[in-house]
Chains A and B, each alone.
Chain A
């Protein structure tokens, strides 16, 4: 993949940097990493991280330090659809274990694994601030709440249809 932002995205980076006082462009690191992950295949390769470092005029290691700290940055390729199912207390009280088992049954992947066709990845995550709408998962930039087996079926078939 060619790791370089389009003109529009570069303009967006510039706007982000302007949110901070002069010389504090390192503050743009998290937002720019989000942007890079979104643009360059859903994960951060070494090449992508080095590119971000060059854009912000910081060292590569400063980017690696940050990228490895935050759980939303993927350091390995992930499936086109990432099912991040919450497993913390309040979701557990409302049956998240069953939801995780069901996804496992349906897709044949355990937490941390990706289907062979590269379509789905299952990940268990900790509380996402949706405890009153449990059980729930994050799918891309959206929340899927009040999950049931039927809802999971629907999400899987819709994802397959969208991928075509």
Chain B
């Protein structure tokens, strides 16, 4: 059994309620931080922990905090990103639903470190019932003196509010999120300036993922150095992985970053293997935006080393033969699944979610979707595969925000590793229409670099 720091108590009955959470040792980190540490001292512990942002990019949280500008007389804000809309990702929902006080506790400590007297949780609009759970937890925390004015006599004031989004993946991008929180369309801003200098209402702001902020609680309780001892190399601590697709046990798992992908996928403690006795075909290990890997490259790197569930190992080989930890959305495809069809659904997703501000993304994402649609429904030509490659290439790196890359990468990786399957679609149009993909021949992973 690996170490659990976030979900170790999530199964205790009524842990959602303040009294139970407190009895189980909740809010100790607030006591420790506010009574015995300075705000910079808290930031130092987070730095020492090596915690990397859990929202997808993996940027070191302590470093991000130390970039926060602190001009005299200007308010600063902490905004928690609970937009969670990357296909395959549902870990923050789990944390907020089952152990909401952990997020509130982490937010109080983090707000203290950053000097935020008003902190916000921006949550995707569809998670309506979780808004109620969070608001109840906030009210309980406030009634028990953990929020409000002069918390624990420290002189620090803090309020937490929940803001509900309204259905827009792009609002997970931090500057789009801030626009949305200001009551506008979720159009990403051009950076610089970065939120650390000019964020919410033009004030210095830190945006962090739910899981990153929750991790601050064990970091303060145990100390940054202790936290950093868990894991391998720069992948410290524990990580929540949401696993889905064709596996026996879909769900949210907390892993410490010392296990192999194979163990995660096949052991009964986690995914429990491929469903219905089928074979593994491919996997997107870090949410829909990151490259898909065929079975052989998922379990072993191109060098033949065991692939581990760490930031470095998942990325080993770059995009040619590796992928990314991303948001921890682990999507598994069995041998009967069609990679073209799956990629088509993702392209449709990104077209739907493009905010439309920049031409390569606004115009390119419908091209990706339409070409994949043609190929999937038996109307594609061989030249469409190359066109698809060119379109994704022309989006990547040419946009205001990374949604353009996020739309391009899955397509590139699908062609890179499964080009034969695209060609099969061109050569067998009738079979495509019958949804008879002739996949038996493709159950063994193919690796055709482009």
Chain B neighbourhood of A130, CB < 8 A: 90, 93
Q: Would A94 and B245 count as touching, CB distance under 8 A?
A: yes
Q: Is A31 an interface residue (CB 8 A)?
A: yes
With A127-B349, A132-B252, A141-B128 known to touch, is A93 a contact of B167 (CB < 8 Å)?
A: no
Which residues of chain B from 101 to 150 have a CB within 8 Å of any chain A CB? 118, 124-129
Q: Would A93 and B126 count as touching, CB distance under 8 A?
A: no
Q: Is B88 an interface residue (CB 8 A)?
A: yes
Chain B neighbourhood of A21, CB < 8 A: 75, 118, 201
Q: Would A134 and B244 count as touching, CB distance under 8 A?
A: yes
Q: Is B387 an interface residue (CB 8 A)?
A: no
Which residues of chain A from 56 to 85 have a CB within 8 Å of any chain B CB? 56, 58, 62, 65-66, 69-73
Binary per-residue interface labels of chain A (28-45) against chain B in the complex, 1 for a CB within 8 Å, 0 otherwise: 111101100000000000
Binary per-residue interface labels of chain A (90-119) against chain B in the complex, 1 for a CB within 8 Å, 0 otherwise: 101110000000000000000000000000
| Nearest CB in chain B: distance from A93 CB, A | 5
Number of A-B residue pairs having CB atoms within 8 Å of each other in the complex: 142
With A30-B163, A88-B87 known to touch, is A93 a contact of B185 (CB < 8 Å)?
A: no
Binary per-residue interface labels of chain A (1-33) against chain B in the complex, 1 for a CB within 8 Å, 0 otherwise: 000000000000000000101001011111101
Q: Is B4 an interface residue (CB 8 A)?
A: no
Q: Is A48 an interface residue (CB 8 A)?
A: no
Contact partner of B126 (CB less than 8 A), chosen from A26, A27, A138, is A138
Q: Would B353 and A126 count as touching, CB distance under 8 A?
A: yes
Contact partner of B166 (CB less than 8 A), chosen from A27, A72, A126, A127, is A72
Taken together as a complex, chains A and B put the C-alpha atoms of A129 and B163 apart, in Å, by 18
With A65-B184, A65-B185 known to touch, is A70 a contact of B329 (CB < 8 Å)?
A: no
The chain A residue with its CB closest to the CB of B77 is A21
Taken together as a complex, chains A and B put the C-alpha atoms of A19 and B118 apart, in Å, by 8
Name the residue in A28, A30, A31, A66 with the highest tally of chain B Cβ atoms < 10 Å from its Cβ: A30
The chain B residue with its CB closest to the CB of A66 is B185
Chain B neighbourhood of A69, CB < 8 A: 168, 185-186, 355
Contact partner of B165 (CB less than 8 A), chosen from A26, A28, A30, A142, is A30
Chain B neighbourhood of A121, CB < 8 A: none
| Nearest CB in chain A: distance from B139 CB, A | 13
Chain A neighbourhood of B182, CB < 8 A: 24, 26-27
Q: Would A34 and B166 count as touching, CB distance under 8 A?
A: yes
Name the residue in B164, B169, B250 with the highest tally of chain A Cβ atoms < 10 Å from its Cβ: B250
Q: Would A89 and B201 count as touching, CB distance under 8 A?
A: no
Chain B neighbourhood of A131, CB < 8 A: 87-90, 242, 244-245, 250, 329, 331
Stretch in contact with the other chain, from B18-26, B42-50, B337-345, B389-397 = B337-345
Taken together as a complex, chains A and B put the C-alpha atoms of A75 and B412 apart, in Å, by 36
Contact partner of A129 (CB less than 8 A), chosen from B118, B127, B342, is B127
Taken together as a complex, chains A and B put the C-alpha atoms of A27 and B122 apart, in Å, by 12
Number of interface residues of B (CB under 8 A): 54
Contact partner of A66 (CB less than 8 A), chosen from B75, B127, B183, is B183
The chain B residue with its CB closest to the CB of A126 is B349
Which residues of chain B from 332 to 354 have a CB within 8 Å of any chain A CB? 333, 337, 341-342, 345-346, 348-349, 352-353
Taken together as a complex, chains A and B put the C-alpha atoms of A96 and B291 apart, in Å, by 23
| Nearest CB in chain B: distance from A119 CB, A | 22
Q: Would A92 and B183 count as touching, CB distance under 8 A?
A: no
Taken together as a complex, chains A and B put the C-alpha atoms of A127 and B244 apart, in Å, by 12
Taken together as a complex, chains A and B put the C-alpha atoms of A87 and B341 apart, in Å, by 12
- A-B pairs, 9 with minimum CB distance: A70-B166, A29-B183, A71-B167, A72-B167, A132-B250, A26-B183, A141-B128, A131-B244, A127-B87
Interface residues of A (CB under 8 A from B): 19, 21, 24, 26-31, 33-34, 56, 58, 62, 65-66, 69-73, 87-90, 92-94, 126-134, 138, 141-143
Interface residues of B (CB under 8 A from A): 75, 84-90, 93, 118, 124-129, 161, 163-169, 180-186, 201, 242-246, 250-252, 288, 329, 331, 333, 337, 341-342, 345-346, 348-349, 352-353, 355
Given A30-B165, A88-B349, A127-B86, 16 additional A-B pairs, CB 8 A: A26-B183, A26-B184, A30-B166, A33-B166, A34-B164, A65-B185, A72-B167, A73-B167, A88-B288, A88-B348, A89-B88, A89-B288, A90-B88, A126-B353, A129-B90, A131-B90
